[in-house]
Amino acid sequence: MRTTQVAIIGAGPSGLLLSQLLSRAGIDSIVLERQSREHVQGRIRAGLLEWGTVELLNEAGVGAAWCTMALILRLPAGITGST
Ligand SMILES: Cc1cc2nc3c(=O)[nH]c(=O)nc-3n(C[C@H](O)[C@H](O)[C@H](O)COP(=O)(O)OP(=O)(O)OC[C@H]3O[C@@H](n4cnc5c(N)ncnc54)[C@H](O)[C@@H]3O)c2cc1C
Does 34 contact ligand 1 (Cβ within 6 A)? yes
Going by C-alpha positions, the residue among 28, 10, 21 that lies closest to residue 62 is: 21
Q: Atom 28 (ligand 1): residue with closest C-alpha?
A: 12
Per-residue model confidence (pLDDT) at position 17? 92
Q: Which helix (H) or strand (E) holds 9?
A: strand 6-9
Between residues 74 and 50, the one the model is more confident about: 50
What is the rounded average pLDDT for all residues in the chain? 85
Does 81 contact ligand 1 (Cβ within 6 A)? no
Per-residue model confidence (pLDDT) at position 19? 95
Does 12 contact ligand 1 (Cβ within 6 A)? yes
